[in-house]
Amino acid sequence: MIARSLTISQDPQEPDFVQDPYRFYALRHRASPVFYWEQYGMWCVAGYDQVNGLLRDRRLGRENRWGAPLNPVEGREHLSDFDRIESGSLLEREPPAHSRLRTLVNRAFVSRSVERLRPRIHALAHQLIDALPADDAFDLLPSFATPIPLTVICELLGVPVTRADDLLGWSHAMCEMYVPQRARETENRANRASADFGAFLTAHIAEHRHSTTDDLLSALIAVRDTGEKLTDDELISTCVLLLNAGHEATVHQTGNAVKTILDQGGDPRRFFATPEAGAATVEEALRFDAPLHMFTRYAYEDIDLGPVTLKPGEQVALLLGAANRDPSAFEAPDQFRPGRADQKNVSFGAGLHFCIGAPLARLELQESLAVLFSRLPDLKLRQPPRYRNSYHFHGLESLVAESG
């Protein structure tokens, strides 16, 4: 029996919540940071210390050992292509499979490897700003925030940037699977996108086998062809994950960060006066308005959450956005304070599933935002931006701005 006082009804698609989930989080921190979210049908954790600890707790995991995507589930036949891709994703696996897959791609994403991409990101940011209209408004999301991470991950992996529109369409359709109470057509669209994405990669990988380019896909194909460490399905799933995760969250974080910085008023260049200031600004933007607010885990054994004990097979939702605003962990959590002494956001997760692309995302944000505000210090928003109706991926619908 779930205690009535700990059962919370909050529609994640309710307009006021979509635009400002932080008021809801503040209420949870004051009342109970562990609660049962009726619309999701699972226990949720909002407190920083507990979220941070559970992200690292090996008694919890991403692998659904009782159903999809690892095992076929009755009633999900229409999601067979989506589940096939999910089942080979390192995001959905636990050791030893997770360790093996992560080791294969980790070298490309460590800080010392991504640092060599800084000049490319810098040049691309200037190129995109050069293309903005000088005497008219522009939407920074499609014209600036999206092309940078999408181009970089395509080039890093070895996928043609000319297919960017297709990649975006497939990615958006698949990410809609994380929206609660989704429609059947949403699921059908995600499954079609998965099938098309997989077919494209299968054909591209067959062609790329004969390429002499030095990219991550060539390295993964070489591993696959040894027949020891990577299956065909895992190769496809890994490429889909890297392409989707390599741009989706960074696009949202770029938009959220621009909004946050402009909301502070004054000359935005002050936040990027030095590389150290820029890094601190990006880190605080990640804490203040993160692009991913919920990450779920399955309990593999009894887990004591305080007011309730999770049983094996039950899911728990770790609320990253709420943890980042916990007043017991951050001084003045609702204030934007770059360089704060208590910076320890969990926007990239923690533990075994800490975001493998975190160094690349940080670099892209630091470089692109520094260039943007150095080139357009008088940038201002044409209209108040609104957040998309998608709780899991917290980002703006558009970011219409003008300069001058």
Q: Which residues of 147-159 are buried (b: 16+ CB within 10 A; e: fewer)?
A: bbbbbbbbbbbbb
**How much is the pLDDT for 3?**
66
Distance CA 93, CA 62 (A): 6
**How much is the pLDDT for 14?**
95
Q: In this model, does residue 89 exceed pLDDT 90?
A: no
Distance CA 37, CA 195 (A): 33
**How much is the pLDDT for 233?**
87
Distance CA 343, CA 279 (A): 12
pLDDT digits (tens, 9 = 90+) for 264-304: 999 999 999 999 999 999 999 999 999 999 999 999 999 99
Count of beta carbons in the 10 Å neighbourhood of residue 146: 21
- If one compares 392 and 251, the residue with the highest pLDDT of the two is 251
Domains along the chain with CATH numbers: 4-402 (1.10.630.10)
> 75 pLDDT band (50/70/90 cuts)?
confident
**How much is the pLDDT for 386?**
97
- If one compares 180 and 15, the residue with the highest pLDDT of the two is 15
Residue 345 exposure: Cα atoms within 13 Å on the Cβ side: 29
Q: Which of 207, 121, 126, 103 is nearest to 159 (CA)?
A: 207
Q: In this model, does residue 122 exceed pLDDT 60?
A: yes
DSSP β-ladder status, 294-299 and 380-381: unpaired
Count of beta carbons in the 10 Å neighbourhood of residue 20: 11
Task: Give pTM, 2 decimals.
Answer: 0.92
Judge contact between 366 and 275, C-beta under 8 A.
yes
Percent of the chain surpassing pLDDT 70: 96
> 68 pLDDT band (50/70/90 cuts)?
low
The residue-averaged pLDDT of 9-22 equals 96
Q: In this model, does residue 133 exceed pLDDT 90?
A: yes
**How much is the pLDDT for 230?**
82
- If one compares 180 and 220, the residue with the highest pLDDT of the two is 220
Q: In this model, does residue 393 exceed pLDDT 80?
A: yes
Most confident of 87-101, 134-148, 170-184, 199-213: 134-148
Backbone φ/ψ region at 75: left (φ over 0), alpha (ψ -120 to 50), beta = left
**How much is the pLDDT for 160?**
92
Q: Which of 45, 59, 48 is nearest to 352 (CA)?
A: 59
- If one compares 179 and 61, the residue with the highest pLDDT of the two is 61
Q: Angle CA(21)–CA(5)–CA(290) in degrees, nearest 5? A: 20
Distance CA 398, CA 255 (A): 8
> 328 pLDDT band (50/70/90 cuts)?
very high
Bridge partners of 318, per DSSP, are: 45, 295
In a 10 Å sphere around its CB, with 0-12 CB exposed, 13-18 middle and 19+ buried, how is residue 63 labelled? middle
**How much is the pLDDT for 299?**
96
> 343 pLDDT band (50/70/90 cuts)?
very high
Kindly state the tokens that stand for 290. 């993160």
Mean pLDDT of the chain: 92
Q: Which of 237, 200, 245 is nearest to 220 (CA)?
A: 237
Most confident of 71-75, 175-179, 247-251, 336-340: 336-340
Judge contact between 34 and 305, C-beta under 8 A.
yes
Judge contact between 393 and 290, C-beta under 8 A.
no
Judge contact between 325 and 26, C-beta under 8 A.
yes
Distance CA 73, CA 224 (A): 29
Q: In this model, does residue 66 exceed pLDDT 70?
A: yes
Give me Rg for the CA atoms of the chain: 21
Amino acid making up residue 168: L
The residue-averaged pLDDT of 181-197 equals 91
Would you give the DSSP letter of residue 137?
Answer: -
User: 203: part of which helix (H) or strand (E)?
Assistant: helix 184-208
The residue-averaged pLDDT of 9-24 equals 96
**How much is the pLDDT for 58?**
96
